[in-house]
C-alpha cells in the first residue's frame, strides 16, 4: 500500500510516494507554479500571465486535466470560483466582464490525478468605467499603421457591461462599404434578438481606388495589414466594451469571405468560427494557412457564381470543394458528409439548396456548406436561404473551446 505525503515549500509543491517494496526508489513530483502581476487592467478586463511545470522522478504523473487561472473577489480563490484555462508551460489569459472599481484576487492552478495545486496569489483593482454606452450605431475612426481606418459598432439594447458579450466582425466585399453591408445583411436586427455586438470595419483603398481586404491573390501589391488591424480592433473594443473573448466570430461576402478564411488561418487562437458567403481562399491563404486549432467553418456559395466560380479556375480562387476538404482535414471531421436538400419554397427563383455537413470534428467542430444550385454572386437572403440567420445560428453553437454545451 502506498502512503502519500504532501509538502508545500513556497511555490514548489512536492509529492513523495514511497512504496513498501524494498529497494524501490521513491516517486518525487514537483508542481512549480508562478503567477505574474496583472497587466492592462481596465474597468472591465485584465491580462494575467504565469507558468506551470511538473517535474517527476521515478514515476510518471499524468498531465493536468485542467490548468490556468482562478480568480474571485476574495482571497485564496480556487477551482470552485471563476476559472479560465490555458495550455502549455507559459500561460496567459485575458479576464473580461469584470466589475469596475473592484479588487480581484487571482492565482495560477493545475488540477490533475494527484490533486489541486496553486501558485502565488496576486491582486489587482479594476478602474472606473468612464466609457459611456451609446446603444445602437456608433461610428469610429482610428489611425493604424499610417492609415485612417473607419469602423462601425452596433451595440444592442440588451448589452450589459456586467455580462461578457459575443462579437461578430462583418467584412464587406471588394469595392464595397461597411455601411451598405450593415444595411443589407440585417445583422443589427439579429444582434438585438440574440445579444451580440456587430462590428463592420471598412477596408482601405486598393491602389488608391477600391476598398479591399488584403488576402493575396487578386489583392497582390497591397501593403495593408488587415489581420493586424483586426487584432488591434479586438484589443481596442475590449477597452470600450465587455467582450466575451471566447466568442469572437468573422463573416463576410466575396472579398470579405476571403478575409474571414484568412483570419481562420492566422488568428485561430482568437476567432472561434468563421462563415463565408461567395468567398473562398486565395492560393496564398491556402498554402500558408497555419491554424493551431480546429475552426468551425460555414461556406455558402452559388454554383453559377461568375465572380468567384464554384470550381475555379482562377489562380487566386481555390475551388470550393478544395476549401471544404482543407477544413475537414484540419478539423478532423468525418470524410463522408450528411447531405439534405432544403425545401424549394420559391419555385420561381430557379434556386435549390443542398445542406452539406461534415460532422464529428475535434471538440464538436463541423464544416458546413450550403450549395446553392443556380446561385449567382450575392448575399443569399430569400425564402429558400437566409444567409444572415443561418450564419448566426451556426456561430451560436461554438466558442474557442469548441461546441458549447
Give the DSSP letter string of 211-236: EE---SGGGTT----HHHHHHHHHHH
11 and 86 together in one domain: yes
280 and 367 together in one domain: yes
103 and 169 together in one domain: no
Q: Is the pTM of this model over 0.75?
A: no
Task: Tell me the CB-side half-sphere exposure of residue 278, using CA atoms within 13 A.
Answer: 23
302 and 165 together in one domain: yes
Q: Does 264 fall in a domain?
A: yes
321 and 362 together in one domain: yes
- The answer to whether 357 touches 342, Cβ cutoff 8 Å, is no
What's the pLDDT at 209? 82
Per-residue confidence band for 3, with pLDDT thresholds at 50, 70 and 90 = very low
- The answer to whether 252 touches 172, Cβ cutoff 8 Å, is yes
Count of the separate structural domains present in the chain? 2
Residue-wise pLDDT tens digits, 340-380? 999 999 999 999 999 999 999 999 999 999 999 999 999 99
What's the pLDDT at 205? 93
Residue-wise pLDDT tens digits, 144-195? 988 899 999 999 999 998 889 999 999 999 999 999 999 999 999 999 999 9
Per-residue confidence band for 24, with pLDDT thresholds at 50, 70 and 90 = low
Give the DSSP letter string of 336-373: SPEEEEPP---TTS--EEEEEEE---GGG--EEEEEEE
CA distance 402 to 365: 6
CA distance 77 to 70: 6
CB atoms closer than 10 angstroms to residue 240: 16
Residue-wise pLDDT tens digits, 67-87? 999 999 999 999 999 999 998
| Alpha-carbon distances of 377 from 22, 278, 402, rounded to whole Å | 77, 6, 31
152 and 106 together in one domain: no
200 and 323 together in one domain: yes
CB atoms closer than 10 angstroms to residue 274: 30
24 secondary structure, DSSP code: P
CA distance 156 to 42: 22
* Average pLDDT score over residue span 241-264: 96
257 and 348 together in one domain: yes
Comparing 55-64, 116-125, 230-239, 361-370, the range with the smallest average pLDDT is 55-64
Supply the CATH number for residue 151's domain.
Answer: 3.40.50.1820
Query: Which strand (E) or helix (H) includes residue 247?
Result: strand 243-253
- The answer to whether 170 touches 202, Cβ cutoff 8 Å, is no
Q: Does 131 fall in a domain?
A: no
Average pLDDT, the chain: 90
* Average pLDDT score over residue span 283-309: 96
Residue-wise pLDDT tens digits, 198-237? 999 999 998 878 999 999 999 999 999 999 999 999 999 9
Per-residue confidence band for 130, with pLDDT thresholds at 50, 70 and 90 = low
10 and 34 together in one domain: yes
- Supply the range of the domain harboring residue 24: 3-125
Q: Which residue, among 129, 117, 96, 104, has the nearest Cα to 37 in the 3D structure?
A: 104
Amino acid at each position: 500500500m502506498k502512503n502519500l505525503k504532501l509538502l508545500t515549500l513556497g511555490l514548489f509543491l512536492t509529492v513523495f510516494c514511497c512504496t513498501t517494496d524494498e529497494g524501490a526508489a521513491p516517486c518525487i513530483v514537483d508542481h512549480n507554479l508562478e503567477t505574474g502581476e496583472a497587466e492592462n487592467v481596465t474597468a472591465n478586463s485584465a491580462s494575467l500571465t504565469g507558468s506551470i511545470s511538473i517535474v517527476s522522478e521515478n514515476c510518471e504523473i499524468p498531465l493536468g486535466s485542467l490548468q490556468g487561472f482562478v480568480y474571485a473577489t476574495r482571497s485564496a480563490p480556487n477551482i470552485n470560483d471563476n476559472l479560465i484555462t490555458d495550455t502549455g508551460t507559459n500561460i496567459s489569459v485575458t479576464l473580461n466582464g469584470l466589475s469596475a472599481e473592484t479588487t480581484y484576487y487571482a492565482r495560477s492552478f493545475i488540477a490533475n490525478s494527484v490533486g489541486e495545486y496553486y501558485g502565488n496569489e496576486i491582486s489587482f483593482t479594476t478602474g472606473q468605467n468612464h466609457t459611456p454606452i451609446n446603444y445602437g450605431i456608433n461610428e469610429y475612426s482610428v489611425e493604424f499603421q499610417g492609415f485612417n481606418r473607419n469602423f462601425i459598432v452596433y451595440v444592442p439594447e440588451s448589452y450589459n457591461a456586467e455580462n461578457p458579450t459575443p462579437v461578430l466582425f462583418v467584412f464587406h466585399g471588394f469595392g464595397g462599404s461597411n455601411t451598405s453591408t450593415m444595411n443589407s445583411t440585417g445583422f443589427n436586427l439579429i444582434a438585438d434578438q440574440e445579444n451580440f455586438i456587430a462590428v463592420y470595419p471598412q477596408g482601405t483603398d486598393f491602389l488608391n481606388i477600391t476598398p479591399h481586404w488584403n488576402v493575396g491573390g487578386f489583392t497582390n501589391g497591397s501593403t495593408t495589414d488587415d489581420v493586424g488591424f483586426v487584432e488591434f480592433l479586438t484589443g481596442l473594443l475590449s477597452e470600450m466594451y465587455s467582450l466575451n473573448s471566447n466568442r469572437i466570430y468573422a463573416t463576410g461576402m466575396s472579398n470579405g469571405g476571403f478575409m474571414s478564411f484568412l483570419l481562420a488561418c492566422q488568428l485561430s487562437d482568437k476567432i472561434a468560427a468563421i462563415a463565408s458567403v461567395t468567398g473562398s481562399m486565395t492560393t496564398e491563404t491556402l498554402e500558408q494557412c497555419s491554424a493551431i486549432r480546429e475552426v468551425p467553418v460555414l461556406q455558402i456559395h452559388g454554383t453559377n457564381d461568375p465572380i468567384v466560380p464554384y470550381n475555379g479556375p482562377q489562380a487566386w480562387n481555390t475551388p470550393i470543394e478544395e476549401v471544404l476538404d482543407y477544413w475537414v482535414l484540419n478539423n478532423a471531421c468525418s470524410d463522408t458528409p450528411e447531405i439534405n436538400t432544403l425545401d424549394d419554397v420559391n419555385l420561381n427563383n430557379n434556386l435549390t439548396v443542398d445542406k452539406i455537413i461534415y460532422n464529428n470534428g475535434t471538440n464538436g467542430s463541423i464544416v458546413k456548406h450550403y450549395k446553392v444550385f443556380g446561385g449567382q454572386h450575392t448575399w443569399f437572403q430569400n425564402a429558400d436561404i437566409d444567409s444572415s440567420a443561418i450564419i448566426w445560428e451556426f456561430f451560436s453553437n461554438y466558442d474557442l473551446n469548441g461546441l458549447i454545451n
